[in-house]
Structure 1
Amino acid sequence: MPQSSSGLIRYLFCGRRERRRLSMQNEIHYLTDPCTGDVCCRIRHSSGLEIRVAEMPEFSTAYAQFSTRFGSIHRCFRENGKTVFLPAGTAHYMEHKLFEKEDGDIAVRFDELGAACNAFTDFDRTVYHFHTQRGFDKALGILLRFVMTPYFTERTVSRERSIILQEIMEMLDDPASQVFNQLLRGMYHTLPLYPDVLGTPESIMEITPELLRQCHRIFYHPQNMVLCCAGNVSAKQVLAVADRFVKPVPLPDAETVFLTEPDMPVQNRVSQRMAVGKQQFMIGFKSRPLSGTARLRESLLCSLTLDLLTGSAAPLCQKMLHDGLINDTFDTECFAGDGWFAVLAEGESDDPQAVLDAICTEAERVLREGIDETLFSVLKKAAYGDSILGMNDPESVCTALTDAFMWDCESPYLRTQLLASLTTEDVCRCLRERFRRDRTCLSVIAPAPL
């Protein structure tokens, strides 16, 4: 990552990729999966918008996702040399308000077409999406127009606060949300992975129409966005609609700014009491972040390593279940993005510290005694098969196209190739680097006293 002498990491607002020089013509390329022969059309639109289309005419439904690299972590940027700090929850607030126009809620327009529309905000992105079996061109036109045309007034922005405040209060009462948010506070010093994507009751009071308009101009620029479609739709259809509704606009002189994140967690244990029947926990193994194809490969490697270490077929999982240390709520995942990378394990337990110790001890044992080659082969083949099957579903394909853009991967078909390249030596390296006992944080939600 580029780093300045002041300890700041700066990203161009449109991600790590260089700002593209706009062409008057659309650039069209075709990407092919060497394992399956699947084809994706990739278009660099004359506006700077990236378009990715997977034609799957054998399906009756078409899916579309229109996404921007603007999420809850984007809390600080510079424009024309001036630094702007955003209140927590700004990206999510924007998502809500774009659905409201002067003539009413845009969702009604989708309903009239028989299309299902929704949106979500994550740490690194906001995604607006719909699926339909008819009227795709009209629905896509509505999607592009409403996302790219802001309508923010003092009255509408103020009215939304009570709605989002209710979401925040529900999140604060949800143990699953709290055990995760608490873990992020325990692991990360400067990276704004917390407060929650929704923001706080105090922060949303600071969001104004002027601030939303500025953020829309910067982060909803076509060069910072991607349109992905899959299913019963053609690239020709999508391009024709994009030509009508997405036009070139001046590129802002802006960059997002993050403080350098230390390697070690803030603390090794965080806890609070809530109304739960059994202790809930989440374990985080913090490690160095990666970008692009390297991040995707490492994420796949970590997921495979987790299956080897703690999956349902692993000896450790069977022993912890037998001993009553965990139950069927136990789960694991790799949590990675721009500036962060962690391995997570969560569930219910009377002794969460013992679960953490057991995972660390098992990682050390596997490194010492060697990897079960048979189990590795079985799990790798299963992961490979799941990856292939996932690309037979239009909704999953549409998400894969979006993910590839967000992770700066040229092709959405890299997953199967990277899975095939994983070795037991990779797993050993992963255990040494990604499962370090000194970089753990344990988050616990304990039952409140009766």
Structure 2
Amino acid sequence: MTDPLVNHAEASQMQVIERTLDNGLTVCLIPKADFQQTFAMFATKYGSIDNEFELDGKPVRVPDGIAHFLEHKMFEDDEQEVFSQFAEHGASVNAFTTFDETAYYFSGTSDLRENIDTLLNFVQKIYLTDENVEKEKGIIAQEIRMGDDNPDRRVFMDLLSAMYAAHPVRIDIAGSVESIYQIDRETLLKCYHTFYHPSNMMLVIAGGFDPEQVMGWVVENQARKNFPDPVEIKRKYPVEPKAPKTDVSTTVLPVSLSRCLIGWKDTVDGLAKGELLRRELLTGLVLDALFGKTTAFYGELLRDGLIDKAFSWEYELTDQYGYTVVGGNAPRPTELVARVKAHVRDAVSRGIADEDFQRARKKAIGRFLMSLDQVSYVARSYLTYRLRNADFLQTIEVLQGLQLADANERLKEHLSEEQMVVSTVLPKAEAAS
């Protein structure tokens, strides 16, 4: 028997209807009145860091990049051309793999039932042959080589490799050329049947539709299919030291402009259940108060030619890893790093000014409210937070409860020089001088 419908009314004033089906699939519907567009996302809690797990009491270690490899293969079908199927019904489809999830999604304005059926059907069926697996290896290997030569991708992955000594977040999502060629059909099937079971998946649909009708379509689609009993997934992650592996990483590439990222490794030990959203939002306020585009510091760096308008900050947090990244294009990276260090030291000493904290909070609330008009953002954010056991819809409530003292405590705790790492990509000419 399926669970009853649950309605949530949060500060965002959005209605979310959620149901767990008999096969374990979690379905979340977010109806938006007067919207023509609908965005649907079907995801599995399975990403690149899940390369070691336990099945039937036996340890399994699979090659790096296998989650991303599976994402590529899901679009291959022996009966229909997936992209054409969506196009025939006025929708566009795509997918992505992150460190901790793989998601397939479509956007459209018509033929919603047909597109939902196509999304569910192609992801819940896999077509693999030895031949199409071998063919894919060359395609993905080329993608990896291109990533290695991309300065923005390279400076970011070098940063994570410097931060993390053991955790697989340090490994490129696509894996390496060497690991890709170790993948075979049998291993892909093992990972697919383990992680693509409905009980490990979630469907989120946001847009203009009748939620009762859409829920009925999904239930009907799933009732036509048979799934084995779910297996308990025991993921295995190595013990990660608190301190970064190293504090500096430098790479030389044939580029015209240096890239520089400054990062701080966070600790997730002791992260209480329900704490993830609060820590993420609080850290975001700290970073925006220090490095946001409306700060005097940002203006000074821009005026002095140390950054351009691509300079930004980012904070990522899961129950497995967390890190802050600040930076971008950097004509004089050494000087930029020195200025950022001095700025953080001064902020720790003086504390964040109340007006800066209040401005950052107002901006965060404004961004959140504006984002609610983007069904793709709503669906993806709700799904990602839900997979991480957090409630995206509590954003305003959490933001309003944060205090200046919380921000200053978080600043001292997280942005310590002991946890700081610098990754730089230098042009060949500059490195040779």
TM-score w.r.t. the length of structure 2 is 0.94
Tell me: CA distance 1:329–1:25, structure 2 relative to 1, closer, same or farther (3 Å): closer
Would you say the 8 A contact 1:310–1:359 is kept in 2? no
Amino acid at match of 1:73: I
Cα offset, 1:362, TM superposition = 2.1
1:281 aligned to 237, 255, 260, which one? 260
SS of structure 2 residue aligned to 1:100: coil
How far is 1:135 from its partner?
A: 0.8
What is the identity percentage for the equivalent residue pairs of Structure 1 and Structure 2?
A: 28
Report if aligned partners of 1:360, 1:436 keep a CA contact under 8 Å in 2.
no
User: Deviation per CA, 1:336-394, whole angstroms, max 9, x where unpaired?
Assistant: 22311111112222442433332232223223223221222122112111111111221
* Counterpart selection for 2:58 from 79, 82, 85: 82
Paired amino acid for 2:236: V
2:159, 2:263 within 8 Å by CA — same for their partners in 1? yes
Q: Decide whether the 8 Å contact of 1:360 with 1:435 is kept in 2.
A: no
The size of the alignment, in residue pairs, is 425
Cα separation, 2, equivalents of 1:248 and 1:28? 23
SS in 2 for 1:399: helix
Q: Residue 410 of structure 2 corresponds to which residue in structure 1?
A: 430
Once the two structures are TM-superposed, the CA of residue 278 in structure 1 deviates from its matched residue by: 2.1
Residue identity matched to 1:412: F
Equivalent of residue 446 in structure 1, options 411, 426, 431: 426
1:336 is the counterpart of 2:317: yes
Within the candidate set 373, 397, 404, 1:417 is matched to 397
What does residue range 70-149 of structure 1 map to in structure 2 within 5 Å?
Answer: 70-149=46-125
**What one-letter code is carried by the residue in structure 1 that aligns with 2:327?**
E
Quick check: 2:289–2:295 contact (8 Å CA) kept in 1?
yes
* In structure 2, C-alpha distance between the alignment counterparts of 1:60 and 1:291, rounded to whole Å: 39
Relative distance call for 1:412 and 1:349 in structure 2 (3 A) is: closer
User: Which runs of 5 or more structure 1 residues have no equivalent in the other structure?
Assistant: 1-23
What TM-score, normalized by structure 1, do the two folds share? 0.91
How far has the Cα of 1:432 moved from its partner?
0.8
8 A contact 2:12–2:393 mirrored in 1: no
Query: Deviation of residue 319 (structure 1)?
Result: 2.4
Post-superposition shift, 1:291? 6.2
* Whole-angstrom CA distance in 2 between matches of 1:208 and 1:238: 38
Q: Could you tell me how far 1:311 is from its partner in structure 2? A: 1.5
Letter in structure 2 aligned against 1:421: G
Contact 2:2 2:19 (8 Å CA) reproduced = no
- Distance, in Å, in 1 between the alignment partners of 2:177 and 2:349 is 50
Conserved 8 A contact 2:159-2:421: yes
Structure 1 residue 249, shift from structure 2 partner: 3.0
Q: How does 1:9-408 map to 2 (within 5 A)?
A: 24-33=1-10, 35-246=11-222, 247=226, 249-289=228-268, 290=271, 293-408=274-389
Out of 370-379 and 113-122, give the one that drifted further: 370-379
Question: How much does 1:257 deviate?
Answer: 0.3
The 3-state SS of whatever aligns with 1:413 is helix
**Residues in 1 aligned to 2:308 and 2:384: alpha-carbon distance in whole angstroms:** 32
Task: Give CA-to-partner distance per residue, 1:175-197, whole Å, 9 cap, x none.
Answer: 01100111111000111013311
CA spacing shift, 1:378–1:171, aligned 2, 3 Å: same
- Out of 51-60 and 345-354, give the one that drifted further: 345-354
Cα offsets for 1:20-72 (capped at 9, x unmatched): xxxx2233211111x24221111111211111111113111111000001111
SS in 2 for 1:165: helix
8 Å Cα contact 1:65/1:129 also seen in 2: yes
Conservation of the 8 A alpha-carbon contact between 2:277 and 2:392: no
Question: Which segment is superposed worse, 225-234 or 394-403?
Answer: 394-403
Check the 8 A contact 2:12/2:396 in 1, yes or no.
no
Q: Which amino acid aligns with 1:325?
A: L
Residue 292 of structure 1, CA deviation: 5.0
> In 1, distance between residues paired with 2:372 and 2:273?
20
- 216-225 vs 356-365, greater mean Cα deviation: 356-365
**Conserved in 2, the CA contact under 8 Å of 1:291 and 1:338?**
no
Question: CA–CA distance in 2 between the matches of 1:438 and 1:357?
Answer: 15
Task: Determine if contact 2:35/2:208 at 8 Å carries over to the other structure.
Answer: yes
CA distance in 1, matches of 2:171, 2:359: 40
Structure 1 residue 101: Cα displacement: 1.2
Residue in structure 2 matched with residue 16 of structure 1 by the alignment: none
Question: Structure 2: how far apart are the matches of 1:234 and 1:50?
Answer: 18
Distance across 2 between alignment mates of 1:96 and 1:61? 26
Indicate the SS of the match to 1:343: strand
Change (3 A) 1:292 1:274: farther
User: Does the CA-based 8 Å contact 1:69-1:224 persist in structure 2?
Assistant: yes
Native 8 Å contact 2:264 2:420 kept in 1: yes
| Structure 1 residue identity aligned to 2:393 | Y
- Alpha-carbon offset, residue 254 of structure 1: 3.2
**Matched residue type, 1:32:** A
- Cα distance in 1 between the residues matched to 2:221 and 2:177: 36
Cα deviation per residue 1:257-311 (whole Å; 9 max; x = unaligned)? 0011111000000111001112211111011124653122111111111111112
Distance 2:21 2:338 in 1: 52
> CA, structure 1 residues 46+248, in 2 after alignment: closer, same or farther (shift >3 Å)?
farther
Contact residue 293 and residue 299 of structure 2 kept, 8 A: yes
Give 1:119 deviation, angstroms: 0.5
